[in-house]
Structure 1
Amino acid sequence: MTHHADHGAAAHALPVAVPSTALFTDQYELTMLRAALRSGTAHRRSVFEVFTRRLPEGRRYGVVAGTGRVLDAVENFRFEPAILDFLRERRVVDEPTLDWLAGYRFTGDIDGYPEGEVYFPGSPILRVTGSFAECVLLETVILSILNHDSAVAAAASRMAVAAAGRPLIEMGARRTHELSAVAASRAAYVGGFTSTSDLAAGFRYGIPTVGTSAHAFTLLHDTERAAFTAQVEALGSGTTLLVDTFDIAEAVRTAVEVAGPGLGAVRIDSGDLLVIAHRVRQQLDELGAKDARIVVTSDLDEYAIASLAAAPVDAYGVGTQLVTGSGHPTCSMVYKLVARAEREDAGAPLKPVAKKSMGAKLSIGGVKWAARQPDADGVAEAEVVGTGPMPEELAARQLVVPLMRDGRAVARESLDAARDRHVRARERLPLSATQLSRGESVLPTRYVGV
């Protein structure tokens, strides 16, 4: 496979200082705060939930990703002096609101589906509890993280299913915003990718990194042989040589002559990958490089990967389609107030609230629990969402777990834990969940007590 610099398992990510996330928000969050402070309702205990009314068209399940980044963002949501000066200069809010923001720290609770879990329409993916003032400010940053990361993770999961155990390399950094690229690498790892070409993702999250050379390196040299020789001398015979700059058959022959039978891999980045992979495999075997691997790239998505299932391909590199969610760059998650107290005192009971206007944007009020009901064989058959007491028979199947208490994260975990959880969750779904053909959600959502 590709020559790589391995930064270790994702559990060994290096600590990185996270700047304030307070301006990753929409202005109306602050104007609502200003008005609520003035009316005396800002400190009413409130519950917001993140959910989606539907899955992206053709998707059979969603993947929760970005939870760890949400916890980071909430912990670093603070209004520093420069931010307060900006808000003052733009007259976004008044001085009493600025005074309140100066001391802002989220002190509430967050519960939700753990990262890597699958979800369905109506699943209460995240629940944020605290004062209205505390919670309303977090809407935009939470949704921006979850919508992006979950979209990439869902695409990654489908690609991992199509790859059937063959390694997947995330290499889409140049196809998206530089910060989105890092988040996409993280989400792709949760969804089943094994490595990334993005060094920032490797540095921040400990994801294994890979990479060797592009066509420019071959074109830099007077001959392809000279380019291969330089790469092998620098990186060793176990490197991956890019063989489709000119004539592929000639390049494969030269690669084996230069690196010897211990050649690590060749990469193919253009052409009819199915046909070329078979030809290259035969040629490598005939030249004695039987252990040399074949890595393919070139605008792959889950369908292209599936079409190569019978090809002698050892690894796939995926870029554009992955970081754009393979046609679905967002999950359409929303952040809605579902319950609030009628008074400001801490003991005031919660009252379910919900938007009741006509159309497709109806919401269901009340604080919700969720459980995944299995059939007799242990295969999931329904996503059960309810308010009030959870039925005893579902208690061991509950999906919502504590993530933050009193403003502090209580569910920090490695990316490997989230990645493993996703594999387990996907394996417990009906077999039709892994079909790439377009279809409806593989599980129905059944509501109880709502």
Structure 2
Amino acid sequence: MSSDQTPESGRTADVRTVLVSSVIGTTVEWYDFFLYSTAAGLVFDELFFPSDDPYIGTMLAFVTFFVGFVARPLGGVLFGHIGDRIGRKRTLVSTMVLMGLATAAMGLLPTYQQVGMLAPALLVLLRLLQGLAIGGEWAGAVLMAVEYAPPGRRARYGAWPQVGLALGLGLGTGLFALLGNSLDEQQFLDYGWRIAFGLSIVLVFVGLAIRLRVSETPAFRRMRALEGAARVPILELFREPVRRRNTLLGLLSRWAEGAAFNTWAVFFISYSTSTLGMARNDVLVAIMAASITLAVLIPVFGAVADRWTPRRTYALGAAVYGVLVYPAFLAFQSRDPLLAGLVVVLLLGVVHAVIYAPQGTFYAQLTPVRLRYTGMSFVYQFSGIYASGLTPLIVTALLAAGGGSPWLACGYLLLTGVIGAVAALAIRERDLFATAETAPDATSRESVHA
């Protein structure tokens, strides 16, 4: 290595490419993943799960939505192992290819009317592949940014990959809205939704072209040189008491973020159209506006987290989300599309930015470098089963149990906010690991405030 190619100088030279790669890569992955959630609330219940009862059709569509979240922990462990053993970059290339192929294949599926039960079976299989891919994507993309970040800017850099979620959601819902405006109802059901899925291949090629230019992170290279990679990261994650405690509390803290996002970005689509009677395109435009707001504010609250610590910022966002659940559903009862849209922009665009911006950096601090890909993936993806994947099902079931009244659902969502905030605050600052330096064991942990 020449004198001008130290890890530190490499980090300075590559950082712009790293951030662009992280944002575009996560945008493509989340675009693919959330296309399904949008379609589940709008067309899949009719095309793959026909039923005389709209609640049943919607819940069956959300069951397959949930399947992706079951696969995500498996993908997190699998790709986390690869990422901690051979590096972040090569792992991220693999996840992007897998996600793109699975999503494009969904756009080619026959419907229930054409092939019967084979249609939902194939849909579930492809959803499993999507789940495996996104299970390995998120942690790696965040780590590429956080482990390249200079001191004092960890949360700000770690927030940029989170922007990909907002852009991916906005791109998917925006394209669905455009197709809905351009086509009539039957055309949209016949082939319009398939166009959005087919475009995934184009986005994947763009993402790969940028991602392949990125070098491995300095923290990973340093760790490999000094101490070597972990043999079985998932086992080492639970061998040390502090790691076990951080992991458990991280799993609980995620309940708030996962429930919040999947209530306002996923459940709200079907609730507002089937229960509130709002026009589909009005709802999609509201979600798109919220996504743009979220994308703009995530870097802002990332900078706030550098000053106030990611842990405290995350806890604040979780608490505010819980407090606003009841007022939000009260506003929805007016059935005013404009008011409902403004509330969604506030909840998904502003409040969720407070939660989501510091989350990546916060979870990166839960484990040392040699276990970090696996540790972050485990916390984020395993918790996704109950925090994210089950939320539309639970909230829909609670609405049905309440005879259409939302107050049982509100009680559940308030509880998730409380659990998330309390769990985040219960993680001790002294138990957090530095995000850009190697921490071989619990005794060598460094302050994350540096």
* TM-score normalised by length of structure 2: 0.25
Q: When you count strand as a share of all residues, which structure comes out higher?
A: 1
* TM-score normalised by length of structure 1: 0.25
Q: Which has the larger radius of gyration?
A: 1
